[in-house]
Amino acid sequence: MAYDYEYFKKAVFDLTKIDLNAYKEKQMKRRIDTLIAKHRIVGYDKYIELIKNDKERFEEFVNYLTINVSEFYRNPDQWEVMDKQIIPELIQKFGKNLKIWSAACSTGDEPYSLVMALSRHIPLNQIKIYATDLDKQVIAKAKVGLYAEKSVASVPADLKQKYFTKVGPSYQISNEIKARVEFKEHNLLKDTYPTNYNMIVCRNVLIYFTEEAKDAVFRKFYQSLAPGGVLFIGSTEQIINHREMGYARKNSFYYEKPQ
């Protein structure tokens, strides 16, 4: 039997429930082939055997699949729009107990940025962010809350001073910010979506998905939003057919579900 990439995708799905068909094939296959070569393994079947029997290699593989490039306040100008316009509008519409979901939250930089941004408008004890990712390793990192200097470079100076402690070359985020985020495992491609959210943030993740998978996710986000709710996406993304889905475009990165 030829153990080709088709076999590999099916074996990975059986093991992890991660559907590699939803990722751009050339890009993903190249990443996986590099990882397999690193372990000096020949053949997809041998690699599947390895990750089936070696917990550490399995975790490494899942971590490798879920592309974790994250930083606080990524694209600061868009967070400026959030601070000056989006949050005040949401409070006006929904009050201060906002329901916010950070989807594909990676190592926590984004949900923690959200807590800090909201803290300028809402008392901390009223803030609750629901944050999800399919990789339990990055969720574990997020819960630790220790970040490299580069990750926190764009955090506004007053917030950095207030909510971070320098630990050697790294920065530890405060427990009072951590306490405002609830982390859960969730797979955007197969799990049920939560509903009635005032804001959903999902940035720079869907660029790795096929057009069909992307389209399906944006439609599901629309269903997840409460009327008047807002979706915040990444600077490399656009919802081409947003009108057809029902979204109104507020600006390049914010889309609203009309009331």
Gyration radius (Cα) of the chain, Å = 19
155, 202: one domain = yes
Q: What is the pLDDT of residue 58?
A: 87
Could you please report the per-residue DSSP string of 44-64?
A: HHHHHHHHHH-HHHHHHHHHH
Within a domain: residue 70? no
Name the domain count of the chain. Answer: 2
Q: Cβ of 36: how many Cβ atoms within 10 Å?
A: 18
Q: What is the CATH number of the domain that holds 178?
A: 3.40.50.150
Between CA 120 and CA 85 the distance in angstroms is 13
pLDDT at 217: 96
pLDDT of 205 = 84
| pLDDT score, position 23 | 80
Q: Are residues 169 and 47 in the same domain?
A: no
Range of the domain at 162: 76-256
10 and 43, same domain (yes or no): yes
Q: Are residues 201 and 105 in the same domain?
A: yes
Residue 69 confidence (pLDDT): 57
Q: What is the pLDDT of residue 180?
A: 98
Looking at the structure, tell me whether residues 152 and 244 fall in a common domain. yes
Same domain, yes or no: 235 and 141: yes
Q: pLDDT value at position 169?
A: 77
Q: Number of C-alpha atoms within 13 angstroms, CB side, residue 137?
A: 14
pLDDT of residue 66: 62
Nearest Cα neighbor of 120 from 156, 71, 151 is 156
Q: Is 71 inside a domain boundary? A: no
Question: Which residue ranges of the chain lie beneath pLDDT 50?
Answer: 1
DSSP letter (8 states) at residue 4: -
pLDDT of residue 203: 92
Q: Are residues 53 and 87 in the same domain?
A: no
pLDDT at position 24: 77
57 with 171, same domain? no
Residues 204, 252: one domain? yes
Q: Output the pLDDT for position 199.
A: 98
> According to the model, what pLDDT value does residue 2 have?
59
8 A C-beta contact, residue 197 and residue 11:
no
Residues 219 and 200 in one domain: yes
